[in-house]
Amino acid sequence: MPVMEADKTDPIRAEELKSQANEAFKAHKYAQAIDLYTQAIELNGQNAVYWANRAFAHTKLEEYGSAIQDASKAIEIDPKYSKGYYRRGAAFLAMGKLKEALKDFQQLKKICPNDPDAAKKLKECEKAVMKLKFEEAISVPESERRSVADSIDFHLIDVEPQYTGAKIEGDVVTLDFVKKMIDDFKNQKSLHKRYAFQIVLQVREIMRALPSLVDINIPEGRHLTVCGDVHGQFYDLLNIFELNGLPSDENPYLFNGDFVDRGSFSVEVILTLFAFKCMSPSAMHLSRGNHESKSMNKIYGFEGEVRSKLNETFVELFAEVFCSLPLAYVLNEKVFVAHGGLFSVDGVKLSDIRAIDRFCEPPEEGLMCEILWSDPQPNPGRGPSKRGVGLAFGADVTKRFLQENNLDLIVRSHEVKDEGYEIEHDGKLITVFSAPNYCDQMGNKGAFIRFEAPDMKPNIVTFSAVPHPDVKPMAYANNFLRMFQ
C-alpha cells in the first residue's frame, strides 16, 4: 500500500510554538524567537499573526528587510490586519524610508479610525515627512556646497574664566588633556566648544589625507587591537581602555565603525576617539560604519545629541568628517578590516577599494554601500540582505576574495553577537562587536581582538557591560522612532 504523506499543517502545535516564541521574545532572545515563529509558520503559514510577530523580532535584530517581507506577507494573508501595517511602517521608518512608512500609517488609521495610538503615529509620521520635504527643498546641490569647516575659526572662540574643564594649550592635544577630558565626561561635564571644534577640525585634516583603504604595518613583537561597534556606549569604551590600556603608539587601536547612534553618550565617544587620533595619529585608526552617515544620525540619536550638547554647526561638521573616514584597513598584508562586508560581484581587488571616492554620503548600491552594510550568511553564494541594504555573502565568496587579494582573514563588525564575536566561514571571517548589553537590553558580551606581529593570529577578549548614568539609549533619537522603542 502506498504510504500517505503526513499532513504538514498542525494548527495546535503551531500555537504552542508561537507561545514559546513569545516567551523567547520577552526574554530578548530574538534569534530564538525567529526560529520558533518560523517553525510555527511551517505548520500553519496562513496565520498572519505569526508573520507579524516574526517581523517584530527581525526589527529587534535590525533586520529591517526581513521585517518588511514578513509584515507584507501578514498583510497579504489578511489585508485588514492592523499589526501588519504597523510592523511594516515601523521597519520602513527604521530604514529612513519615511514616505513608505507614511503610506502604512495612513492605512493603519483607516483600519483603526478610533485608535489614539494609530492617530498619534500617523500625525508624527506626517510631520517627519513634511520636515524631510522642506529639507530637500532648501538643500544646496552637492557640487555647490561649501565646506562648513572652512567657515570655522576656533581661535576666535573665547573660553570663559569660569570654565574649569579640560583645556588644549596651543595646537597640541596631549595625553594629559585627553585624560582630563575623559574624567570630565565620566562626571557628565562637557568640553568647551572651542576645544571640541579644534579636535574635530584637526581630525578632518588627518583623515582627508588618507586613502579609502589604509595599509597598517605592525612591526615584529608589536600588536594592534581591533574593536567593533561602540554605539555611543561611552562607559563601556572606557572599560575597554581599562582592560587593554589607553591608546598609544605602543598600544594602537582600530575602531571599526559605528562609534555613534543608539547609545546616548555618542558625543563623548566620538570626541574621545578623535582626541586620541589628534594626540597620536598612529595610536588610533578609525574606519567608517553605516552609522557614520546623515540619514542614520538623523534617526538614531547622534544628530539630536550633538544639537543638545554642542550646536547646529557641529551637526554639519561631523557629517563632513564622517565622509572623510577610510572604508577599510589591511593589517600586515594579511588581515582585511571593514565595517560591513563583501561585494555583489567577484573580482574586487584592494586597488578597487582604494580607488573609491568616499567623500560623500553612502550611496544605496555599489562597493561603498556594500562594504558598510553587507553581512555574512551560512549558505554559499550571495543572497538578499536581511537589512534591506547591501547583501548577504557566503563562505565561498569570502574564500575567493581572500585568495584573489592574497589575504588570510576578514574582520568585520556591524552585528550584535551574544559572545561579542563570532567566527564563521571556515575560520576565515570574524565578526567583532564591542557594545556589551547593546541598547541596555540585549544581554550580549562585548569583545575586541588583539593581533600580534608577525603571526597575526587573532586573540579575542570578551567583556561584560559596566554601569552608566541613568540616560536611556535613544534618548536623543527622532521622536517618531522613540515611539516604537
Show the cell assigned to 70: 514578513
β-bridge mates for residue 229, sequence order: 433
β-bridge partners, 375? 392
Cβ atoms 256, 339 nearer than 8 A: yes
Give the orientation angle of helix 193-208 with respect to helix 312-322, to 10 degrees. 20
**Strand order of the sheet with strand 421-424?**
213-216, 328-331, 335-338, 409-412, 429-432, 421-424
Instruction: Spot the catalytic one: 291, 414, 425, 468.
Output: 291
Specify the pairing of strand 284-287 against strand 253-256.
Answer: parallel
β-pairing, 375-376 with 328-331? unpaired
The CB-side HSE value for 121 (13 A sphere, CA atoms) comes to: 29
Is 285 catalytic? The answer is no
Alpha-carbon span 34 to 214, nearest angstrom: 38
Say if residues 421 and 430 touch (Cβ distance below 8 Å).
Answer: yes
Q: Quick count: other Cβ atoms within 10 Å of Cβ 219?
A: 9
Residue 366 CB neighbour total at 10 angstroms = 13
483 secondary structure, DSSP code? T
Rounded alpha-carbon distances, angstroms, from residue 95 to 125, 167, 236, 387: 14, 39, 26, 8
Q: State the catalytic residues.
A: 291
